[in-house]
Structures are given as C-alpha cells and as structure tokens.
C-alpha cells in the first residue's frame, strides 16, 4: 500500500489530494491564485489531520511539475520539497498537462464531460500562457502522449492536420477558449475541465511503483519558457 500526497498549483486552481495507491481519499481545492502559498499548506495540514496521519506516514509526495504559472509552480514545488525533506520520503513529478488530461478522462467516465465518444479522440489540454499563447500537448484516450509539450501561439492554422483528420478533437483547460473562433470544424469540441490534484493520483502511483523519483535537492519546475520581468511603464519618482 502507498499513501501519496498530491499537490497541483500551476494555474489559478490550487489543490491537494491524498490517495491510497491509485484511489482518491481526500481533496481540497481553491481558485484563489494569490492565496496558494497560504491555502496549500493549510490543505495539507487539514487532509493529514482528518485522516489521522502525520507527514512521516506518507510514502511519497507528487507534484504537478508544469508548465504553468511561475509563481504557482514555485510555491507548489517548494511545499512538496519541504514535506519530502522533513519526512524523509521521495518526490514524484507529474506533467501538469497529463494531470489535466487525467481529470478530463475521469470526468468522461463519470458522464460529466460533454463528449459522446472519445475512444479515438485527440485530447488537447491547453494552459493559458497569456495573449494568444498556450502550453499544450496532445494525448490519446488512454492518456498516452501523442506529441511533446510545447508553447504555441494559437492561430487559424494551428493543428490544421489534426482538425482535418476527421478524428474528434477535445480541447480543454484555461487556454482552450482562445481557439473557439479559430477552429470552426464540427469535430472540434471545447469542454470545461478544471485542473485538480486528483489528476496526479494515477500517474503518481505508477511512478511510485516503478520508483521514478526526483532529486529533492535539485528538482526544478518545468517552466518551459524563461521567466521574463517586464519593466513597469509607470514612473515612481
């Protein structure tokens, strides 16, 4: 048996989940992005307390590694590292786009994803990267990657081959709305899927079984793009 704590905060949604093997036990979520630093630590404490656990009872901590919000990822990874270091347990990293896809598949199985059949669909999670840019990656209906992770400026020519393939394309995530007017094909479906730590549970358990752990001292979030500070146009003096 493996007790896994999962933490995801690469977008405006911050969440913490506790799982036994690949089964979700507890979940806390918030959409207050500016409160991630405060909320995530509180959620960890609440989940451990309600399950009568201490951090040292955990077998590993899984973290959504990105891409996503620089600030959210830093907070998320720092918290996970601190727990792992203090409790002497391993760290697991899961791609945030894969985690979002796992949530979409769970929603589909629960009958709450507005798509009739995704067995042969291309699943395309998109995380907003500001302006018309998104972080994205293609998956099949078993959450196997069909492409690498990329930062892409969305235009009317984007994913043209996939859109013309006849296969259903399911777009979701905080960046998907940018495609609404650009992709007119009937086989393109935009659906609502919210990022959640529950999407980390299954891939984290697989990683734990195969002992795919990160180096706690040197692990960094997968930002994909370099952080750029834009000088303010306002004059202070």
Region 197-211 average pLDDT: 98
198 pLDDT more than 80: yes
Q: What is the pLDDT of residue 174?
A: 94
Token pair, residue 214, equals 């990160």
Q: What is the pLDDT of residue 34?
A: 67
Q: Tokens 């299954």 appear where? A: 202
Q: Is the peptide bond before 236 cis (omega within 30 degrees of 0)?
A: no
Region 158-166 average pLDDT: 94
Give the global pTM: 0.92
Q: What is the pLDDT of residue 121?
A: 97
Q: How confident is the model at residue 230 (pLDDT cuts 50, 70, 90)?
A: very low
Q: Which of 143, 141, 24, 13 is nearest to 68 (CA)?
A: 13
Q: What is the pLDDT of residue 25?
A: 97
Q: Which of 205, 196, 225, 18 is nearest to 96 (CA)?
A: 196
Q: What is the pLDDT of residue 235?
A: 53
Backbone angles phi, psi at 153, to 5 degrees: -85, 120
Q: What is the pLDDT of residue 218?
A: 95
């Amino acid at each position: 048996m493996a007790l896994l704590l999962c933490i995801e905060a690469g977008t405006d949604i911050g969440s913490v989940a506790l799982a036994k093997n690949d089964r979700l036990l507890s979940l806390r979520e918030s959409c207050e992005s500016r409160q991630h630093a405060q909320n995530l630590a509180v959620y960890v404490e609440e989940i451990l307390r309600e399950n009568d656990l201490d951090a040292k009872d955990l077998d590993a901590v899984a973290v959504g590694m990105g891409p996503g919000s620089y600030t959210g990822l830093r907070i998320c990874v720092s918290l996970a590292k601190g727990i792992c270091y203090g409790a002497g347990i391993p760290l697991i990293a899961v791609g945030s786009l894969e985690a979002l896809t796992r949530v979409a598949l769970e929603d589909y199985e629960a009958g709450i994803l507005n798509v009739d059949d995704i067995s042969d669909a291309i699943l395309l999670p998109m995380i907003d990267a500001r302006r018309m840019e998104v972080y994205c990656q293609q998956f099949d209906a078993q959450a196997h990657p069909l492409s690498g992770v990329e930062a892409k400026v969305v235009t009317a020519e984007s994913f043209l081959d996939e859109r013309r393939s006849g296969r259903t394309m399911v777009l979701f995530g905080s960046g998907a709305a940018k495609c609404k007017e650009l992709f007119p094909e009937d086989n393109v479906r935009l659906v609502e899927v919210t990022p959640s730590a529950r999407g980390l549970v299954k891939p984290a358990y697989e990683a734990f079984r195969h002992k795919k752990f990160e180096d706690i001292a040197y692990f960094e979030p997968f930002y994909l793009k370099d952080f750029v500070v834009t000088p303010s146009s306002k004059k202070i003096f």
